[in-house]
Amino acid sequence: MRVTMILPALTEATSPLFRPIKYSLFPPLGLATLAAYLGPDDDVRILDEHVQRLDGIVDDDTPDLVVIQVYITSARRAYELADAYRARGVTVALGGLHVTSLPEEAAAHADVIFIGPGEDTWPSFLADFRRGSYASRYVSSERTLVGLPPIRRDLIQRGRYLVPNSIVVTRGCPHHCDFCYKDAFFTGGKSFYTQLVDDALAEIDRLPGRHLYFLDDHLFGNKRFAASLFDGMRGMGRVWQAASTVDAILAPDLLEKAAAAGLRSMFVGLETINAGNLPEQRKRQNVGRDYGAVVRRLHDAGVMINASFVFGMDGDGPDVFDRTVAWGVEHGLETATFHIMTPYPGTALHRRMASRILHEDWDLYDTRHVVYEPRGMTAEQLSDGYWRAYRDFYRWGSIWRGASGKPARDRLRHLAYAGGWKKFEPLWDALIRSGQVLRALPLLERALSLRSRQDLQSRV
Domain ranges in the chain are 2-139, 162-453
Residue 388 clears pLDDT 70, i.e. is over it:
yes
Q: What's the whole-number mean pLDDT along residues 169-178?
A: 84
User: Which of the four pLDDT bands, split at 50, 70 and 90, describes residue 430?
Assistant: confident
User: DSSP states of 87-145 as a string?
Assistant: HTT-EEEEESHHHHH-HHHHHTT-SEEEES-STTHHHHHHHHHHHT---SEEE------
> What mean pLDDT comes out for the span 317-334?
95
Q: Averaged over 406-426, what is the pLDDT?
A: 83
Q: In which band, very low, low, confident or very high, does the pLDDT at 94 lie, cut at 50, 70 and 90?
A: very high
pLDDT higher than threshold 70 for residue 453: no
Average pLDDT over every residue of 290-306: 92
The proportion of the chain whose per-residue pLDDT surpasses 90, expressed as a percent, equals: 66
pLDDT band at 177 (very low <50, low <70, confident <90, very high): confident
Q: Give the pLDDT band (50/70/90) at residue 336.
A: very high
Instruction: Please give the C-alpha separations between residue 156 and each of 7, 204, 236, 443, in angstroms, as whole numbers.
Output: 12, 16, 24, 22
Q: Which of 139-148, 256-265, 302-311, 428-437 has the lowest mean pLDDT?
A: 428-437
Give the whole-angstrom CA distance, residue 45 versus residue 177.
36
Contact 34, 62 (CB under 8 A): no
Judged by DSSP in three states, 261 sits in coil
Greater model confidence, 278 or 246 = 246
- Residue 325's φ and ψ, nearest 5 degrees, are -60, -45
Q: Return d(Cα 391, Cα 88) in angstroms, integer.
A: 47
pLDDT band at 17 (very low <50, low <70, confident <90, very high): low
Contact 341, 302 (CB under 8 A): no
77 SS3 class: helix
Give per-residue pLDDT as tens, 225-249: 999 999 999 999 999 999 998 888 9
In our burial notation (b when 16+ CB lie closer than 10 A, e otherwise), range 72-106 reads bbbbebbbebbeebeeeebbbbbbbbbbbbbbebb
What would the pLDDT profile of 103-148 be if each residue is shown by its tens digit? 999 999 999 999 999 999 999 999 999 999 999 999 998 888 998 8
Phi and psi at 48, nearest 5°, equal: -120, 110
Return the DSSP state at 275: T
**Residue 169: band (very low, low, confident or very high) from pLDDT cuts 50, 70, 90:** very high
Question: If pLDDT is split at 50, 70 and 90, which confidence band does 180 have?
Answer: confident
Residue 458 has pLDDT above 50, yes or no: no
* Better-predicted residue by pLDDT, 72 or 181: 72
Query: Over 50: is that where the pLDDT of 459 sits?
Result: no
Q: Which CATH class is domain 2-139?
A: alpha beta
pLDDT band at residue 53 using 50, 70 and 90 as cut-offs: confident
Looking at residue 289, its pLDDT comes to: 65
pLDDT of residue 44: 98
The pLDDT-based confidence of 348 (bands split at 50, 70, 90) is confident
State the fold for domain 162-453. TIM Barrel (3.20.20)
In whole angstroms, how far apart are CA 52 and each of 8, 157, 169?
10, 10, 27
- pLDDT computed for residue 288 by the predictor: 46
Residues with Cβ within 8 Å of residue 122, at least 6 apart in sequence: 34, 37, 114, 138
The answer to whether residue 422 scores a pLDDT higher than 80 is no
pLDDT mean across residues, the chain? 89
Tell whether pTM > 0.85: yes
Write down the pLDDT at residue 85.
97
C-alpha dihedral sign at 174, 178, 179, 181: positive
**21 or 358, greater pLDDT:** 358
Question: For 62-73, what is each residue's pLDDT tens digit?
Answer: 999 999 999 999
